[in-house]
Amino acid sequence: MTCRCSSSTEHAQRARDQKAYTRSLEREQKKKERQQTPDNTKFQILRTEELAGNLILEVLYPNCSDCSYEGRKVMVFFGLSLQEAILWRKIDPHFRAPQAPEPHEAPSPAARFPATTEGWSAACQMAASSQF
């Protein structure tokens, strides 16, 4: 690439402008990423169902209005009850490696479905047919 600046002063100014522009793009990208990832400590449980010893939750993440389904997630948790879920202060909707969760933290969901009527029905079918 050939520099077309007329002076070293102009070159230095353009370099500063380019760095500032790059930093602003990086900030915008990070902001966009934050909006598309739910804050797993700020949630509202909209709907619950227990079937065959499994738990289905529809959870709203208010900070994630740009996420699909306006931040609503339908999740299935195998072998758990609403009694246990009442204690949760953190519900991460993402799948992760099985591990013992902290006492006030939900385990990784076994399945996640679209937050639609059809998604809720599919979650209920899965929970009812899965014995864990």
Q: How do the pLDDT tens digits run along the chain, 132 residues long?
A: 678 888 888 878 887 878 888 888 787 777 665 556 788 999 999 999 999 999 999 999 998 877 888 889 999 999 999 999 999 999 999 888 877 778 899 999 999 999 999 999 999 999 999 765
Q: Amino acid identity of 105?
A: E
By residue range, what is the domain housing residue 30? 8-37
Residue 125 shares a structural domain with residue 62: yes
16 forms bridges with which residues in the sheet? none
**Could you give the CA distance from residue 125 to residue 51 in angstroms, rounded to a whole number?**
9
In this prediction the pTM is: 0.70
DSSP-derived secondary structure letter, 101: P
What's the number of domains the chain is made of? 2
Q: Are residues 33 and 51 in the same domain?
A: no
Of 76, 74, 75, nearest to 127 by C-alpha is: 76
Same domain? 25 vs 89:
no
Does any domain span residue 1?
Answer: no
Does one domain contain both 60 and 113?
A: yes
